[in-house]
């Protein structure tokens, strides 16, 4: 299938870093307990920042490094579960703050932690119908706004941040497969007018679902494309919990080093996690033309997706 070219990346993190020791003064927990169960040491949380300001910063960095004419961006898609407003969308406010052309589509997409991968598929589809050659994709979350800091099973996991990617059409290989299974029991956050909006999660159920979903995403994308893990340069998993990724890694012996991890100092940033990984790999020179990336994620919905991207 006709693919995409990653033109540029960008990222943004709040200034405030919340360590596990600081977390232990908020809820009954310890640094050792958190690290053992999640692999997380610290996370960034918003104090003066917002979902919009993080998205604007990450997108601005991507546009600056791309060298493209911003007027050639035909769509802005923001994957988020924590917008500043029910409406207007974060995407529309990104358009305003960055002074982008009004001749574009701008909308938010909600698929929880799978949001960026869903946005990747939507953005690729739009490239074939837009009059302009570029799409700006942003994964952005201010999860600290919906965390229940009395629930030590969930509050230790999440952090805030944003990652942005500019994509264009190319003749390189792309393949994606996505799934959805309606379930409001495992992981949810009530909506407007429904009471206090806080994350509610059944951790053990989510863990089992996550391992199976990630494995399915990898297996089916590889099978459908006729590839094996030997052909993949980086396997970029949603950074939800180190133990989840470790359980997936074990099913691909000898390929463990291809699974990139940056959860230690970021926590679970939901829709921002995969684009944050992409930007880190890009900034550190570890993405090269011709590489094959296998991105896989899962989230509330339930949703999950796997995507092969050839650079």
Q: What is the pLDDT of residue 193?
A: 72
Q: What is the pLDDT of residue 21?
A: 96
Residue 1 has pLDDT above 60, yes or no: no
Q: Please indicate, yes or no, whether residues 11 and 44 belong to a single structural domain of this protein.
A: yes
Q: Please indicate, yes or no, whether residues 9 and 115 belong to a single structural domain of this protein.
A: yes
Q: Please indicate, yes or no, whether residues 183 and 134 belong to a single structural domain of this protein.
A: no
Q: Please indicate, yes or no, whether residues 152 and 220 belong to a single structural domain of this protein.
A: no
Q: Please indicate, yes or no, whether residues 94 and 186 belong to a single structural domain of this protein.
A: no
Q: How many domains does the chain have?
A: 2
Whole-number Å distance between alpha carbons of 57 and 124: 23
The DSSP 8-state label assigned to residue 24 in this structure reads T
Domain with 146 in it: 2-171
- What is the DSSP code string of 162-181? EEEEEEEEEEEEEEEEEEEE
How many angstroms from the chain centroid is the CA of residue 248?
18
Q: Please indicate, yes or no, whether residues 71 and 102 belong to a single structural domain of this protein.
A: yes
pLDDT band for 190, please (50, 70, 90 cuts): confident
Residue 203 has pLDDT above 60, yes or no: yes
The more confident residue out of 194 and 232 is: 232
Whole-number Å distance between alpha carbons of 294 and 291: 10
Of 141, 171, 201, the residue at which a domain comes to its end is: 171
Q: Which residue has the tokens 């980086």?
A: 234
Q: Please indicate, yes or no, whether residues 155 and 276 belong to a single structural domain of this protein.
A: no
Out of 113, 140, 235, 295, the active site residue is 113
Q: Please indicate, yes or no, whether residues 114 and 179 belong to a single structural domain of this protein.
A: no
Per-residue pLDDT of 18-74, as tens digits, reads 999 999 999 999 999 999 999 999 999 999 999 999 999 999 999 999 999 999 999
Structure tokens at 274: 């995969």
CATH number of domain containing 181 = 3.40.47.10
131 CB neighbour count, 10 Å cutoff: 8
Q: Please indicate, yes or no, whether residues 148 and 22 belong to a single structural domain of this protein.
A: yes
Per-residue pLDDT of 229-264, as tens digits, reads 999 999 999 999 999 999 999 999 999 999 999 999
Out of 20, 268, 282, 295, the active site residue is 268
pTM for the full model?
0.96
Out of 235, 237, 238, 241, the active site residue is 238
| β 105-109/134-141 pair status | unpaired
Q: What is the pLDDT of residue 289?
A: 92
Of 171, 188, 204, the residue at which a domain comes to its end is: 171
Of 171, 190, 217, the residue at which a domain comes to its end is: 171
Q: Which residue has the tokens 């684009």?
A: 275
Whether 267 and 76 have beta carbons less than 8 Å apart is answered as no
Q: Please indicate, yes or no, whether residues 88 and 186 belong to a single structural domain of this protein.
A: no
The more confident residue out of 199 and 268 is: 268
Map residue 42 onto helix, strand or coil: strand
Q: Please indicate, yes or no, whether residues 146 and 227 belong to a single structural domain of this protein.
A: no
Whether 155 and 238 have beta carbons less than 8 Å apart is answered as no
- In sign, the C-alpha dihedral spanning 86, 273, 246, 17 is negative
Residue 196 has pLDDT above 90, yes or no: no
| Residue 268 designated active-site | yes
- Residues of the chain with pLDDT > 90: what percent? 93
- What is the DSSP code string of 205-226? HHHHHHHHHHHHHHHHHHHHHT
pLDDT band for 205, please (50, 70, 90 cuts): very high
Q: Please indicate, yes or no, whether residues 160 and 247 belong to a single structural domain of this protein.
A: no
Length of the chain: 311
Residue 195 has pLDDT above 80, yes or no: no
Whole-number Å distance between alpha carbons of 142 and 52: 9
pLDDT band for 194, please (50, 70, 90 cuts): confident
Structure tokens at 293: 């990336």
| Residue 128 designated active-site | no
Per-residue pLDDT of 83-115, as tens digits, reads 999 999 999 999 999 999 999 999 999 999 999
């Amino acid at each position: 299938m006709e693919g995409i070219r990653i033109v540029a990346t960008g990222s943004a993190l709040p200034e405030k870093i919340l360590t596990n020791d600081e977390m232990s003064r908020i809820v009954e927990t310890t640094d050792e307990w958190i690290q053992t169960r999640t692999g997380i040491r610290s996370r960034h949380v918003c104090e003066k920042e917002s979902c919009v300001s993080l998205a604007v910063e990450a997108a601005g960095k991507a546009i600056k490094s791309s060298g493209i004419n911003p007027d050639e961006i035909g769509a802005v898609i923001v994957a988020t579960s924590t917008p500043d407003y029910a409406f207007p969308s974060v995407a529309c406010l990104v358009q305003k703050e960055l002074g982008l052309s009004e001749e574009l589509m701008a909308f938010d997409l909600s698929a929880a932690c799978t949001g960026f991968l869903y946005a990747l598929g939507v953005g690729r589809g739009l490239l074939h119908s837009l009059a302009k050659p570029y799409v700006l994709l942003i994964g952005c979350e201010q999860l600290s706004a919906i965390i229940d800091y009395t629930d030590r099973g969930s509050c230790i996991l999440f952090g805030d941040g944003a990652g942005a990617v500019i994509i264009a059409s190319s003749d390189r290989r792309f393949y994606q497969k996505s799934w959805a299974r309606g379930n409001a029991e495992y992981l949810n956050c009530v909506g407007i007018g429904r009471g206090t909006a806080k994350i509610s999660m059944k951790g053990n159920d989510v863990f089992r679902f996550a391992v199976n979903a990630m494995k399915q995403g990898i297996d089916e994308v590889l099978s459908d494309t006729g590839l094996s893990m030997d052909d993949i340069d980086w396997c970029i998993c949603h950074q939800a919990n180190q133990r989840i990724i470790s359980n997936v890694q074990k099913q691909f012996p000898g390929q463990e080093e291809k699974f990139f991890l940056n959860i230690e100092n970021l926590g679970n940033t939901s829709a921002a996690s995969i684009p944050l990984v992409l930007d880190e790999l890009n900034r550190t020179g570890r993405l090269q033309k011709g590489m094959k990336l296998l991105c896989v994620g899962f989230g509330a919905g339930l949703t999950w997706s796997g995507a092969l991207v050839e650079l």
